[in-house]
Chains A and B, each alone.
Chain A
Amino acid sequence: MGPEVAPSTEPFTAFYEREHRPVLVLARVLAGDAETAEDVTHDSFAAALVDWERLDNPSAWVRRVVANKARSHWRRRYAEHRALRTVAASTPGRYELPDDTEAFWAEVRRLPARQAQAVTLYYLEDLSVSEIAAVLDCAEATVRVHLMRGRRALAERLEVDDE
């Protein structure tokens, strides 16, 4: 995750240029498809722009918004957009992931939402427990519990060792 930068010292455009790609990848594995990821990412950065002057930690904030938007409640809105998009025109698939990678992240998404978010931030973004806590806006102890349970469940489902 990018450094915590006070919004007054960094223009939004620089933040956007720097953070767009990692946030897009985060959205991709949490949402499960490229189009939703693009929509979620777009709307999250657009929301950040609107609130830019009030964000203390925009890197964490935009990831939190993405993590939440990628959940089912929000995916419905994006699914509605997509239903129309398929009517308007079919778009060729972009950013396809290999099947085994897709399957791995699908297993992550099957975890309870908070566990899935914590595990994704931990592995995909290499965030520390304290950084994950900042993103999810919860205590570090809570993150540790989510990570422990999430990893344990994931290891069981994938039938791999987690020792």
Chain B
Amino acid sequence: MSELDALARRHAGVARDAYADARPPRLSPDPSRLPGPRGPRRATWIALAVAAALLIAVALTTLGGAPPPLEPAANPSLGGGPTTSPSAASSPGSPTADIEQPQFGEGWRLLGEGRDVGEAGRTAVATTDDQLERLWREAGLSGGVPEVDWGSEIAVWFGAIWSTGREIRLTDLVVEDDTVYPLTPALEPDQTWADDARPHSFVVAVARSVLPDQVPLNVQLNAEPLGYGWPHERTVVEVHLAVPGSTATDEQLHDDPGLTPEIPTTVEDGGSIPLGQKVLYWFTPGECGWERLGTFDGQEWRLAEDSSPPDNLPPVEGDAWLTRLDEERILYSIPETELIYVPAENGWTCEDG
């Protein structure tokens, strides 16, 4: 037995021993708990984008893509304290009513929040009283404008997006390189949600001490832009705000014109995918699993022989991007997975694959 073998078997034994008293819990075989989209077709492009962005945001933090958490604010109760619009409270009896919105975290404190107020898919930054007044008004929050210690803090409005059946909370802020964004996980990520995209305003004071030492600074709604437009998802700050007391003029706080709207075209089984075009398709695997993509432009498309499904997992029903690369190939894309589909020969059945 090699040194590695001995070491590995010892640590394997330790891991097994640690779980010596583990007992199987009661399973909840409710299909709605299982990962992957199930239930009725539900995803508008907005809901999809929100979900994808949430996953990316949390992943970047969890998997080491993000720097360490922010330092605590010097005084979490500085200023007028958190204010909350009446609409922010979860409705009584709601299964999520017991998960409260955190009032502060490391390097930030909540100035106010409200559901169904303000504007969805929006950010704004304030460095002066006048800017904060305007920001507070645009965020749709009630009550007096809270105080911010401009010497040590700035104020940020995140116009987040929630959907009926998919409430969110702002749980943390992440500073990553030249970018600041919030984590706004959904309370029930696997819950079927409605097709609506509703605003949820969060206004927070952010400690300057945790801001990156870079100009410009990007303050955005998610780890990655939602990818479907709204230049105002990202506020670009052209001033070094980490400097205590520094202010930015309105001209130095602007949307990012690079976030150009992109409204996806959708296609259904039996439809047409023009050459070079990328379209959104609701993939239903059926009995053929990965083998059959669907019928497009009058022919059936099957998985190319040299294209391997991901990790040998069964496919799940859900949205996928299809790109017609050329006459003979369609590229199927979902996060971390790309497959090539080719026209099926006459008489092909998925058992042939």
A88 to B98 alpha-carbon distance, docked (Å): 7
Closest A-chain residue to B105, C-beta based? A87
Residue positions of B touching A, CB distance < 8 A: 2-5, 7-9, 11-12, 14-16, 18-19, 22-25, 27-31, 33-35, 54-56, 58-59, 61-63, 98-100, 102, 169, 171-172, 183, 185-187, 189-190, 310-314, 335-336
The residue that A97 contacts in the complex, of B14, B34, B56, B313, with Cβ under 8 A, is B14
Q: Does A8 reach chain B (CB closer than 8 Å)?
A: no
Name which residue of chain A comes closest to B100, CB basis. A87
A103 to B48 alpha-carbon distance, docked (Å): 37
Beyond A64-B312, A83-B171, A162-B4, is A17–B24 a contact (Cβ under 8 Å)?
yes
What are 9 inter-chain pairs, A to B, with CB distance below 8 A?
Answer: A20-B23, A28-B19, A46-B29, A71-B311, A80-B54, A136-B312, A138-B312, A151-B4, A160-B7
Which listed residue (A17, A69, A88, A124) contacts B15, Cβ 8 A?
A124
Residues of B near A75 (CB, < 8 A) are: 59, 62-63
Do residues B24 and A21 form an inter-chain contact, with CB atoms below 8 A? yes
Q: With the chains together, A102 CA to B28 CA distance in Å?
A: 29
A72 touching B4, Cβ below 8 Å: no
A interface residues (Cβ-Cβ under 8 A, vs B): 16-17, 20-22, 24-25, 28-29, 38, 42-43, 45-47, 49-51, 64-65, 67-69, 71-77, 79-84, 86-88, 95-98, 100-101, 104-105, 119, 123-124, 136-138, 151, 154-155, 158, 160-163
With both chains docked as a complex, state the minimum distance between the C-beta of B10 and any C-beta of chain A, in angstroms.
8
A43 pairs with B33, CB closer than 8 A: yes
Given contacts A73-B335, A87-B100, contact A158 B185 (CB under 8 A): no
Q: Which listed residue, B7, B16, B187, touches A25 by the CB 8 Å rule?
A: B16
For A76, give its contact among B22, B58, B102 (CB under 8 Å).
B58
Question: For the complex, would chain A's binding face be called helix, strand, loop or mixed by DSSP majority?
Answer: helix
Q: Given that A64-B312, A161-B2 are known contacts, is A83 also in contact with B15, CB under 8 Å in the complex?
A: no
Chain B minimum-CB-distance residue to A26: B15
Partner of B25, one of A42, A49, A162, A163: A42
| Chain B residues with CB under 8 A of A104 | 7-8, 11
Q: In the complex, are the beta carbons of B11 and A81 less than 8 A apart?
A: no
Partner of A50 from B11, B15, B18, B29 at Cβ < 8 Å = B29
Select which of B3, B22, B189, B313 is within 8 A of A20 by beta carbon. Answer: B22
Distance A45 CA – B35 CA, assembled complex (angstroms): 12
A13 and B345 CA atoms in complex are apart in Å by 44
Q: Which of B4, B19, B99 contacts A24 (CB 8 A)?
A: B19
> A126: nearest residue on chain B (CB-CB)?
B12
| Minimal Cβ-Cβ distance residue in A for B184 | A83
Asked if A24 and B63 make an inter-chain contact with CB atoms under 8 angstroms apart, the answer reads no
Q: B35: which A residues are within 8 A, CB to CB?
A: 43, 69, 74, 77
Min CB gap B173→A, angstroms: 13
Known A-B contacts A25-B19, A104-B7, A158-B7; the reply to A49 vs B58 at CB < 8 A is: no
Which of A43, A68, A83 interacts with B58 by CB under 8 Å?
Answer: A83
> Could you say which residues of chain A place their CB within 8 Å of the CB of B25?
38, 42
Contacts of B5 in A (CB 8 A): 123, 162
Residues of A within 8 A of B59 (CB): 72, 75-76, 79
Q: How far is the CA of A77 from the CA of B190 in the complex (A)?
A: 9
Docked-complex contact B12 and A124, CB < 8 angstroms:
yes
Contacts of A151 in B (CB 8 A): 4
Smallest Cβ distance from B62 to chain A, in angstroms? Answer: 4
In the complex, chain A residues whose CB is within 8 Å of the CB of B100: 87
Shortest beta-carbon distance from A131 to chain B in Å? 15
Q: Do the beta carbons of B34 and A43 come within 8 Å of each other? A: yes
Question: Which residue of chain A lies nearest to B52 when distances are taken between CB atoms in the complex?
Answer: A76
Roughly how many angstroms separate A83 CA and B59 CA in the complex, as a whole number? 11
Could you tell me if A105 and B98 are in contact, using CB atoms closer than 8 angstroms? Answer: no
3 interchain residue pairs of minimum CB distance: A20-B24, A76-B59, A79-B62
Which residues of chain A come closer than 8 Å to B27, judged between CB atoms?
Answer: 16, 42, 45-46, 49
B24: A residues at CB distance < 8 A: 16-17, 20-21, 45
Supposing A80-B58, A154-B4 touch, asked if A25 and B171 sit within 8 A by C-beta, the answer is no
Chain B neighbourhood of A76, CB < 8 A:
55-56, 58-59, 62-63
A18 to B14, CA, bound (A): 20
